[in-house]
Chain A
Amino acid sequence: MSPIIDARGLTVSYRVGSASLARLRRRPDPVVHAIDEIDLVVERGASVGIVGESGCGKSTLAKALVGLAPLSAGTFALDGEQLGTRRTPQQTRRIQMVFQDPSASLNPSMTIGQTLRELLRVHDMVPAEQVHQRAGELLELVELPVSLLNAYPRRLSGGQRQRVGIARALALEPEVLVADESVAALDVSVQAAILNLLQKLRTELGLTLLFISHDLAVVRHISDRVVVMYLGKVVEDRLTEDLFRDPRHPYTAALLASAPRMGVERRSGDTALGSEPGSLHSIPSGCRFHPRCPIAQDLCRETEPALLGPTAAQHAACHFAWTNRPDESAHRGGGEPDQGRLVRMVTR
């Protein structure tokens, strides 16, 4: 069976200034790559988490997959069918998105019912006389009362709006659901309910889920596999359990170490990563992470590491991911998470 998502070399670039001005000053074309030659292959029914800091390109990747950001290079095949930015309605339906901010992602001048029925009609999802009933079913699917069909979004709580956002995506009966920070704006207890709903829908409807988030605990909960991005590149791509137990890229380790956790004593100055994140406008040479990396070597400053690994499900883009670290004290032992070591290394 072919993978449901087969993306190769996905690149989304933005022009950030005048090309003619740059030519006058004999500088290269002012272009930044929000995502830079990303490969992503996902099996049907999988749940993949995509994490990274702001500016790492995770949202751009989501937009590129659903056709909201034009590709500058690369190919994207959904279940063997090539999809571009311009898609037929049939192609559009197959991959749908749930947005981040539930208060901004619903048209305030349309009722919930109008929003859902519009999609059902435009896409001819059900015969005209069943449109009304189907809209109600969609609300039931996301565990909302059917009476909300006549309500305007401003009357709904954040959690309810996000459920409507999910119902809207599901109206087109997609095979892939892309959730872009879909619980980030919600309170913890509401977030839990939405995560449970997404899990339930995934199993019941056999959806493939791409879950984009900055929150590692949430990603750990909902994904079987995690893709870590840094400055437009994938730096690590592993099964969730493996990645959290034994991160192979120093950036992943730092991310894990910096997430606040209960019951972990911190000393006054402890921080996992000292410096500011890099900028897409001035991509470092070699490994993009090297200016912040606690174990960077000369090699890292010169050569960009490839995304490699011993098995198909284990990839990391670090020269030292699968070998002994150059720093002898960093030699890993046992299966214990070694974020502590990284923390120590940075602070002293």
Chain B
Amino acid sequence: MDEEMSRTVLSVDDLHVQLTLGGRTLSPVDGVSFHVAAGESLGIVGESGSGKSLSLRAVLGLLPSGGESDGSIRFAFERGEISGDVEQVRGHGVAMVFQEPMTALNPTMRAGDLIAEAVRVRSGLSRRAAKARVIELMASVGIPDPARRARMWPHELSGGLRQRVMIAAALATEPELLLCDEPTTALDVTIQDQILGLLRRLREERGMSMVFVSHDLAVVAEVCDRVAVMYAGRIVETGPVDEVLRSPRHPYTAALLASAPSFQGGGGALATIPGSPPDPREFPSGCRFAARCAFARDDCRQAPYTLAGDEHRATACIHPEVLMEASA
């Protein structure tokens, strides 16, 4: 098991994404590195425009038109190592679950056919055998009455069931690594709860690795072992989810946590972050959060970006001690 854990399924190093929008070139992802061990679940958290979704999409080469990525992306599967060619891993080791199950499912294909398509990509089973496998998969993701649901169109299914269909289609390829792009954001809390429970169960049963992108720290806390917090195209902090939430080492993480209304109550004004994220056309030098940071010092504006720390815990803040002093 220890040996197995030490294998790094996905290594992303110095990933850059360039996006050309209306003649302007932006760098919404600017030097992102992360690693996912076998069986591990990594959460990537950030606000809109932080580059979290683009980072995830770049892993499978699924950038929007006008987008280009640069950097090293390596996969290490049971069948061997793969780097460079994403075509080789799509549907063969890696699968992805998207946010909006209504637009991510082809509306002209029945739910069962959508999953069958994925089954046949992987296994080359006969139509008949594939059909049996589809029903089995649908049952395994908790779709009640799978045989009947397999004949339904996406628009006839509820949001939760659509998301389950998408997960079943992803599982059909027997992935070692599942990439999730805000898979529960469009769902109601009770359904979100079900989907998160399902993902936890599947991961346990299949030993799958997972990268889970979300804007919601609490959701990430429920399904991930480790978390990477992104701000303005860079990872500013990584570490085990519990530790990062309990004692953040980057002022942005701390500010993000403080601005979320607490479930435990407690009145008064919420903490806010002054200003707005920097313009991706002209990122400031030094720490990109410095302009909004309550603890910023002069040297913050010159400090080059490095994620200081070890595999376990790292922060891009050059003065992480200020947070400890502030909380003390």
B189 touches A220 (CB 8 A): no
B273 touches A258 (CB 8 A): no
Contact of A192 with B259 at beta-carbon distance under 8 Å, contacts A262-B217, A263-B245, A271-B194 already known: yes
The count of A-to-B residue pairs whose CB atoms sit within 8 angstroms is 132
Q: How far is the CA of A241 from the CA of B267 in the complex (A)?
A: 11
Q: How far is the CA of A272 from the CA of B194 in the complex (A)?
A: 8
A273 touches B193 (CB 8 A): yes
Name the distance in Å between B9's Cβ and chain A's nearest Cβ: 20
Q: How far is the CA of A172 from the CA of B80 in the complex (A)?
A: 67
User: Which partner residue on chain B sits nearest A220 by CB separation?
Assistant: B265
B188 touches A277 (CB 8 A): yes
Indicate which residue in A157, A217, A241, A272 contacts B262 across the interface (CB closer than 8 Å): A217
Binds A, one of B11-19, B196-204, B307-315: B196-204
B256 touches A188 (CB 8 A): yes
Q: How large is the interface on B (under 10, 10 to 19, 20 to 34, 35 or more residues)?
A: 35 or more
Q: How far is the CA of A221 from the CA of B122 in the complex (A)?
A: 49
Name the distance in Å between A92's Cβ and chain B's nearest Cβ: 31
B261 touches A192 (CB 8 A): yes
User: Does A91 lie at the interface of the complex (its beta carbon under 8 Å from any beta carbon of B)?
Assistant: no
Q: Type the 1/0 row for A269-291, where 1 means its CB is closer than 8 Å to any CB of B.
A: 11111111100000000000000
Residues of A within 8 A of B245 (CB): 262-263
B265 touches A241 (CB 8 A): yes
B261 touches A189 (CB 8 A): no
User: Does B221 lie at the interface of the complex (its beta carbon under 8 Å from any beta carbon of A)?
Assistant: yes
A217 touches B260 (CB 8 A): yes
B197 touches A268 (CB 8 A): yes
Name the distance in Å between A254's Cβ and chain B's nearest Cβ: 6
A258 touches B161 (CB 8 A): no
A271 touches B197 (CB 8 A): yes
A268 touches B261 (CB 8 A): no
User: Does B103 lie at the interface of the complex (its beta carbon under 8 Å from any beta carbon of A)?
Assistant: no
Contact of A255 with B271 at beta-carbon distance under 8 Å, contacts A217-B263, A262-B218 already known: no
Indicate which residue in A221, A257, A270 contacts B261 across the interface (CB closer than 8 Å): A221
* Residues 290-322 of A at the B interface (beta carbon under 8 Å): none
Binds B, one of A65-73, A74-82, A193-201: A193-201
* Residues 16-64 of B at the A interface (beta carbon under 8 Å): 47-48
User: Which partner residue on chain B sits nearest A274 by CB separation?
Assistant: B194
Residues of A within 8 A of B218 (CB): 259-262
Contact of A272 with B193 at beta-carbon distance under 8 Å, contacts A54-B188, A217-B261, A260-B219 already known: yes
User: Which partner residue on chain B sits nearest A275 by CB separation?
Assistant: B144
Q: How far is the CA of A54 from the CA of B191 in the complex (A)?
A: 11
User: Does A40 lie at the interface of the complex (its beta carbon under 8 Å from any beta carbon of B)?
Assistant: no
Residues of A within 8 A of B189 (CB): 53, 214, 216, 255, 258-260
User: Does A141 lie at the interface of the complex (its beta carbon under 8 Å from any beta carbon of B)?
Assistant: no
User: Does A152 lie at the interface of the complex (its beta carbon under 8 Å from any beta carbon of B)?
Assistant: no
User: Does A86 lie at the interface of the complex (its beta carbon under 8 Å from any beta carbon of B)?
Assistant: no
User: Does B222 lie at the interface of the complex (its beta carbon under 8 Å from any beta carbon of A)?
Assistant: yes
Sorted from nearest, which 3 A-B pairs have the closest CB atoms? A258-B193, A221-B261, A192-B259
Q: What are 14 A-B contacts with C-beta separation under 8 Å?
A: A53-B190, A157-B276, A158-B48, A188-B47, A188-B260, A196-B272, A214-B189, A216-B189, A260-B192, A261-B263, A264-B222, A268-B197, A268-B200, A270-B197
Q: Give B residues with C-beta under 8 Å from A.
A: 47-48, 144, 158-161, 188-194, 196-197, 200-201, 203-204, 215-219, 221-222, 242, 245-246, 255-256, 259-263, 265, 267, 269-273, 276
Q: Give A residues with C-beta under 8 Å from B.
A: 53-54, 157-159, 187-193, 195-196, 199, 214, 216-218, 220-222, 240-241, 244, 254-255, 257-264, 266-277
